A = this chain, B = another copy of it.
Amino acid sequence: MIDPKPKLAPRALEAAAEPLGEVSIPRLYAYHRALRQAQAKGKTTITSHGLAALLGHTIASTQIRKDLCALGPLGRRGQGYAIDPLVEQLARVLGLEHDWRIAIIGFGYLGHAFATFITAREMRFRVAAIFDNSPAVIGQRWQGIVVQDVAQIEQTVRAAGCNIAVIAVPAEAAQACAERIADLGLRAILNFAPTPLLLREPIIIRNIDLAGEMSILTHRLSLLEA
- Which residues of A line the B interface, CB within 8 A? 1-4, 6, 12-16, 18, 20, 22, 25-30, 33, 55-59, 93-98, 100, 108-110, 112-114, 116-118, 121-122, 124-125, 163-164, 187-190, 194, 196-198, 204, 206, 208-224, 226
Inter-chain pairs besides A55-B196, A95-B218, 13 sampled, C-beta below 8 Å: A2-B58, A2-B59, A18-B223, A29-B209, A58-B198, A95-B221, A100-B214, A114-B210, A188-B220, A190-B213, A206-B213, A206-B216, A208-B210
A112 engages B109 (CB within 8 Å)? yes
Chain B residues lying within 8 Å of A125, measured Cβ to Cβ, are: 211, 214
Can you list 30 contacts pairing A with B, beta carbon distance less than 8 Å?
Answer: A2-B26, A2-B27, A2-B30, A2-B58, A6-B220, A12-B224, A14-B224, A15-B224, A18-B223, A25-B216, A25-B219, A26-B209, A26-B213, A29-B209, A30-B209, A55-B196, A57-B198, A95-B218, A112-B113, A113-B113, A117-B211, A121-B211, A122-B211, A124-B218, A125-B214, A164-B221, A187-B221, A190-B213, A204-B217, A208-B213
Chain A contact surface mostly: mixed
Determine whether the beta carbon of B121 is less than 8 Å from that of A117.
no
In the complex, the answer to whether A212 meets B30 with C-beta atoms within 8 Å is yes
Residue from B4, B29, B96, B226 in contact with A58 in the complex, judged by beta carbons closer than 8 Å:
B4
Query: Could you say which residues of chain B place their CB within 8 Å of the CB of A187?
Result: 221, 224
Contact of A33 among B15, B189, B194, B219 (CB under 8 A): B194
Query: In the complex, which residues of chain B have a beta carbon less than 8 angstroms from the beta carbon of A12?
Result: 223-224
Of chain B, the residue at the smallest CB distance from A192 is B117
Cα distance A206–B220 in the bound complex, in angstroms: 11
The complex places the Cα of A187 from the Cα of B196 at a distance, in Å, of 30
Q: Are B1 and A196 in touch, CB under 8 angstroms? A: no
Q: Which residues of B contact A114 (CB under 8 A)?
A: 210
| A117 touching B122, Cβ below 8 Å | no
Q: B196–A214 contact, CB under 8 A?
A: no
Docked pose: A136 CA to B225 CA in angstroms: 39
> Among the listed B16, B26, B117, B211, which residue makes an inter-chain contact with A118, where contact means beta carbons less than 8 Å apart?
B211
Instruction: Please determine whether A26 and B55 come into contact, CB atoms closer than 8 angstroms.
Output: no
